[in-house]
Amino acid sequence: MATPEKSGAAKGGARNTAAKGPGAKAPGARTPAAKGPVLKSTAVSHVGKIRSNNQDSGYAGTNLFVVADGMGGHAGGDVASAIALRRITEIDKPYTSAHDAVFALQSALIAANSLLAETVFEHNELTGMGTTVSGFLRVDHKIAIAHIGDSRIYRFRGGKLEQISADHTFVQRLVDSGRITPEEAAVHPRRSVLMRVLGDVDAAPEIDTQVLDTAPGDRWLICSDGLSSYVSDEKIQHVLATVRNLSDAANRLIKESLDQGAPDNVTVVLVDIDESPSSAHVPPITVGSASVPLSYDSDNARRSLRLPTLLLHPLKATQPDPSHFEPESEDYLDELILEDRRRARRRRATWLIAIGLVVLAIIAIIIVGYQWTQSHYYVGDDGGTVAIYRGVQQTIGPIPLSSVYQKTTITLDQLPAFNRNQVEATINATDLKLAKEIVERLADARTQ
Ligand code: CA
């Protein structure tokens, strides 16, 4: 359930542009400032068009940039992403090496994981909550990355967008093992099922880390699946290539998702590695559920909201969140793969039945059509002799739709020119009786 202050404040979200140069000072005691290229960054989050609350959180800081996408029943997703993000933003400071930065990120994610477990222990109603976390620390010309879940990190360089993080989703597992194609994964009904998250699920979460170089001109994008599941990589690449202003580009990406109906919350953190130094300093930006007060402390308020919901909508209240976590056990994976195969078989069977029905319909039309032609007769020339034909004069390709039904002894050269021309052009008869009458008339018209 969304508390009133959350669903209200979650809409839109803060937006800002931060420019930090080698001379810029980080807030508080977090000096000295980072060396290396200048950063410009922004963060935008939108609740989307369907959801009642924003379970995403985003952060564009001095050295640190993060997106967290929460999940967990009808309560807890917003809490999970907010708790994790707030804990992780404590490490937004300069680091002397990328190795140190990776270690700091990893430690912060594990600490956030423990914090989530503790919170669930104290607040039972949050059981099952979890969150994705994708973020990086900039250290000079390097980017130290930590990632778990299906939020994404992209690097846009030289006009090309490259997905840096790997989705920890069930469908990505299927793609990796060659069971389905990336195109099939993009529309798979289970594409939101996560195999790894932070939260009330795993004491030792498996976090991906890596260090990559960065150079002036690079654009780094971190986004929740509210963007990447609904806006194609080609479209994202096009926006990043054509919209140079940072805030405009971030807002354009949000708009692209809204144009697709934005069924999910959508969060964008965009970082430009810039060559032009700027002395302007902008404080870190927090957007989404981490930007508003947490509501889980007020147990009474939550209960008063939940009880009527449970009474009025007993099923609705227990419905799982559309984006949910499943344990990464091989048994479960096998079960999902089996289900996937069954689904594929059902789809194939449906197609075969449909194709069979179409073929049967075509055959029926041909049979009925042929029978209709065979109820017609005409009088025509059969090698110089008048004959009654059954069928119609037309052919289907090389196949004639008529055949000689009855020959006569009347030859064409016995007929006056007018009748001869008629026979050569064929004379239609609606039935056999009329055809025979025509033949009798021709016999009477014989000149010899
Ligand atoms: Ca999401």
Question: How many angstroms separate the alpha carbon of residue 186 from the centre of ligand 1?
Answer: 15
265: CA distance to ligand 1 center in Å? 6
How much distance in Å is there from the Cα of 339 to the middle of ligand 1? Answer: 24
| Domains identified in the chain and CATH numbers | 41-293+324-328 (3.60.40.10), 377-444 (no CATH)
* Angle at 133 (CA atoms; ends 75, 204), nearest 5 degrees: 90
Paired tokens of 153: 């990190």
The Cα–Cα gap between 349 and 370 comes to 31
* CA of residue 313 to ligand 1 center, whole Å: 24
CA of 257 to the centre of ligand 1 (A): 12
Cα(424)–Cα(413) distance, integer angstroms: 11
Whether pLDDT at 328 is above 70 = no
Rounded CA-CA distance 245/253 in Å is 12
Using one digit for the tens of pLDDT, what is the confidence trace for 38-49?
789 999 999 999
Taking the centre of ligand 1 as the mean of its atom positions, its distance from the CA of residue 396, in whole angstroms, is: 58
What gap in Å lies between CA 132 and CA 265, rounded to an integer? Answer: 13
Q: How does the average pLDDT of the chain come out, rounded? A: 83
Q: What is the pLDDT of residues 408-441, one digit of tens each?
A: 999 999 999 899 999 999 999 888 999 999 999 9
- Residue-level pLDDT at 323: 54
Single pTM value for the model: 0.65
CA distance 403 to 383: 13
CB 150 within 8 A of CB 69: yes
The least confident of 105-114, 346-355, 392-401 is 392-401
Do residues 270 and 250 touch, judged by C-beta distance below 8 A? yes
398 or 244: which leads in pLDDT: 244
Helices 77-88 & 98-122 angle (0-180, nearest 10)? 140
Of the candidates 76, 70, 113, the residue with the CA atom closest to the CA atom of residue 225: 70
pLDDT at 174: 85
The gap between the terminal CA atoms of the chain, to the nearest Å, is 103
| pLDDT class of 25 with cuts at 50, 70, 90 | very low
- Taking every pair of C-alpha atoms in the chain, what is the biggest distance, in angstroms? 126
pLDDT digits (tens, 9 = 90+) for 200-219: 777 789 999 999 999 999 99
Report, as an integer, the average pLDDT of 172-185: 85
CA gap 124, 127 in Å, rounded: 5
Per DSSP, the three-state class of 55 is coil
Residue 16, pLDDT above cutoff 70:
no
Residue 29: band (very low, low, confident or very high) from pLDDT cuts 50, 70, 90: very low
In whole angstroms, give the CA distance from residue 203 to residue 395.
Answer: 77
Q: How far apart are alpha carbons 73 and 199 in whole angstroms?
A: 13
Tokens representing residue 336 in the block: 């999902």
Show contacts of 312-320: CB within 8 Å, 24+ apart: 317/74, 318/73, 319/74, 320/73
Phi-psi region of 14 (alpha: psi -120 to 50; beta: other; left: phi over 0): beta
pLDDT for res 98? 96
Alpha-helical regions (H) of 260-373: 299-312, 330-373
Distance 71 CA to ligand 1 centre (A): 8
Q: Are 82 and 63 in contact (CB under 8 A)?
A: no
**Ligand 1 centroid, distance to 261 Cα (angstroms):** 14
Distance 89 CA to ligand 1 centre (A): 20
DSSP class per residue in 364-399? HHHHHHHHHHTT-EEEEEETTEEEEEEEEEEEETTE
What is the predicted pLDDT for the residue at 45? Answer: 97
Give distance in angstroms: CA of 230 to centre of ligand 1: 11
Give the distance (Å) from ligand 1 centre to CA of residue 323.
Answer: 6
Both tokens of 292, joined, read: 């508003």
Interval between CA 444 and ligand 1 midpoint (Å): 91
